[in-house]
Structure 1
């Protein structure tokens, strides 16, 4: 009987690249296992380039996630309208008018607590989407006239 190896789980893990290489030639795998594998300069540059690209992709994903969090969620409007002008107007109203004061932030907090459940109901019973769409559409149409909204019409006094 042979001795059991006392390697940690991480030392025994095999990368996807190593698995792909194992499929090509059993003798080569054994040779590389005994004597080690040597990468050419081109292979090493490609590996480094891949690591840099992977890191860039990872950081872009984190930045996009943070941006989506900052952008905020407009659950119900997105559920019934998608990414339309109504959704944009409602988001702008939230950011420009509601976030400026305490009661507005409380409204936003309550909305974020209740809206996901409402969206589940709207997805389960699509017939409810039409009346919600009418109400939110009317609210968004009125809010287009709110002073200070970007892209909306300004009130003239």
Structure 2
């Protein structure tokens, strides 16, 4: 049995039923376009507000979980980002000064990421600043693993 393909020339059942009610309305909407009512415009605005709120809550939830904004923006979800997260969780979070540093970072990092989006050339400069931090954290973890293995 052959399947029917929906073509662009096909008319929906709703349009057919509407043609039976008011052919002039169908012709008018075809020529002038359909215009939303004030109630539809208000509903659309409410939906867009709810969507923005949902998106911002999701972003703030990611920040609460401890996303490495800048590292993720520069390196993606690669090993560099994982090393920096591990360093943050193991060395910064347990100390008061470390927590303060994390809070300052969470305030500033989204602006840095927006700047990198606006000016892509800054991404390589930020990467050059972060790379030594990744190297230091990696060395610190390697030393820690060696001392654990020997002791």
Shorter-chain TM-score range? 0.5 to 0.7
In 2, distance between residues paired with 1:72 and 1:121? 20
CA RMSD of aligned residues (A): 2.6
**2:64 aligned with 1:75, yes or no?**
no
**2:143 aligned with 1:154, yes or no?**
yes
**Match of 1:31?**
none
**2:116 aligned with 1:122, yes or no?**
yes
Structure 1 unpaired stretches of 5+: 1-21, 27-64, 148-152
In 2, distance between residues paired with 1:117 and 1:68? 16
Q: Where has structure 1 moved over 6 Å in runs of 4 or more?
A: none
Q: CA deviation at 1:127?
A: 0.4
Post-superposition Cα deviations, 1:15-45, rounded to whole Å, max 9, x if no partner, equal xxxxxxx97xx9xxxxxxxxxxxxxxxxxxx
Aligned residues: 93
TM-score of the two chains, using structure 2 as the length reference: 0.53
Higher helix share: 2
**2:131 aligned with 1:142, yes or no?**
no
